[in-house]
């Protein structure tokens, strides 16, 4: 199987070609970034062949870095991606025609985890925190949470890049950092290492698209029926996760390499509660990031969050009665 140039450049990219039984009328190239339950609807689409049953042959591609996903999208190497609003906003402010068509995770599903000795918010001052990379979703989530808690992330603490979830946890365990941001099921592992579940960021209810389905306006215009089939598959995948607990936990375990029953149970609770039955990409989830960028970025200050989302596909799917039929309403 030949690989596209940018995708081949991503050393950790993994290509999963959909089953090509029969003569599928269409092909869809769908990428996702980050080994997190936020991407679990894409895993369901692959395992349950939700696109194949609509006559679509998918290529589902895992890439470890959001910037690489964006490059592939802009180079017409993929048609859509499961990715966070940070990529959407940064690309569109630079003139790209990227747009979010589905909102999958409407807030931060993460926890601030600290050394056991830290018990009060004021004790975070002067400490060092680890995030994936500066400018990443984990970085933004931590900064926004700290502001809500009365901590200035630029003056009161030091934030450094320490890598993915496992690396952030390792840095905290070794004392290289004093707090970090991680999701379940890794939070359970952290607690068993003697670290503190300091704060559940989802309790702050910050509107933010931690994950959504991103494509380009030009693709919607030229391949709208295909994008509608993708929307249908994502909605069906979310329904499966929300209604089949044991399957969802097994899915998390398979893709995250986690076997701890308690961690998987807590992860399921976190994500099944936050996945929306009808994933409208509300502009408020974009506005949060634009507001954060506005003081230093005139383009962000002038941007209209409504232009970053396209509600037409999910609105059409919702109006069709498909979602009501799924949930038997």
The Cβ of residue 16 has, within 10 Å, a number of other Cβ atoms equal to 11
Q: The sheet that has 98-105: what strands, in order across it?
A: 14-17, 56-63, 26-33, 80-83, 211-216, 98-105
Residue ranges of the chain whose pLDDT lies below 50: 1-24
**Using only C-alpha atoms, what is the Rg of the chain?**
19
pLDDT the model gives residue 10: 43
Same fold, 5-107+208-326 and 111-204: yes
CB 302 within 8 A of CB 92: no
pLDDT of 315 reads 98
Chain centroid to Cα 40, Å, comes to 9
Cα distance between residue 186 and residue 192, in whole Å: 10
Fold annotation for 111-204: D-Maltodextrin-Binding Protein; domain 2 (3.40.190)
Task: Report the C-alpha dihedral over residues 74, 308, 154, 120, rounded to 10 degrees.
Answer: -120
> How much is the pLDDT for 243?
97
State residue 135's pLDDT score: 83
- The length of the chain is 329
Q: Which is nearest to 212 in space by CA: 76, 66, 8?
A: 66
Instruction: Name the residue ranges covered by the structural domains of the chain.
Output: 5-107+208-326, 111-204
DSSP state letter for 112:
E
Q: What angle do CA 92, 42, 134 make, to 5 degrees?
A: 45
pLDDT for 22 equals 43
Q: Helix, strand, or coil here: 297? A: coil
**β-strands 128-131, 158-161 pairing:** parallel
Pairing of strands 179-182, 128-131: parallel
Q: Are strands 98-105 and 128-131 parallel, antiparallel or unpaired?
A: unpaired
pLDDT of residue 164: 86
Sign of CA dihedral 166, 168, 170, 173: negative
Q: Does domain 5-107+208-326 have CATH number 3.60.15.10?
A: no
- pLDDT, residue 329, reads 64
Give the span between the Cα atoms of 316 and 169, in whole angstroms: 42
Predicted pLDDT of residue 11? 34
């Amino acid at each position: 199987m030949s690989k596209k140039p940018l995708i081949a450049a991503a050393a950790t990219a993994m290509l999963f070609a959909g089953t090509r039984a029969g003569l599928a009328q269409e092909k869809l190239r769908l990428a996702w970034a980050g080994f997190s339950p936020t991407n679990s609807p894409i895993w369901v689409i692959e395992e349950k062949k939700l696109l194949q049953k609509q006559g679509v042959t998918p290529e589902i591609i895992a890439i470890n870095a959001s910037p690489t996903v964006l490059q592939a999208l802009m180079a017409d190497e993929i048609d859509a991606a499961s990715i966070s609003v940070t990529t959407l906003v940064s690309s569109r402010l630079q003139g790209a025609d990227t747009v979010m068509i589905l909102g999958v995770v409407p807030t931060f599903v993460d926890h601030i985890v600290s050394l056991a000795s830290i018990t009060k918010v004021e004790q975070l001052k002067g400490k060092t925190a680890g995030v994936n990379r500066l400018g990443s979703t984990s970085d933004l989530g931590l900064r926004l949470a700290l502001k809500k808690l009365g901590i200035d992330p630029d003056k009161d603490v030091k934030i450094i890049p320490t890598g993915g979830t496992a690396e952030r946890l390792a840095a905290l365990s070794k004392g290289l950092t004093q707090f970090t941001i991680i999701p379940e099921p890794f939070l359970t592992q952290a607690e068993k290492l003697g670290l503190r579940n300091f704060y559940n960021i989802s309790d702050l209810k910050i509107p933010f698209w931690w994950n959504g389905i991103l494509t380009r306006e030009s693709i919607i215009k030229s391949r709208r029926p295909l994008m509608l089939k993708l929307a249908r598959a994502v909605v069906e995948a979310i329904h499966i996760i929300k209604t089949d607990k044991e399957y969802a936990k097994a899915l998390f375990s398979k893709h995250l390499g986690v076997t701890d029953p308690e961690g998987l149970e807590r992860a399921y609770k976190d994500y099944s509660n936050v996945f929306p039955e009808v994933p409208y990409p509300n502009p408020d989830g974009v506005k949060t990031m634009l507001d954060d960028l506005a003081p230093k970025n005139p383009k962000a200050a002038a941007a209209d969050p409504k232009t970053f989302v396209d509600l037409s596909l999910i609105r059409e799917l919702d109006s069709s009665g498909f979602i009501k039929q799924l949930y038997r309403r």
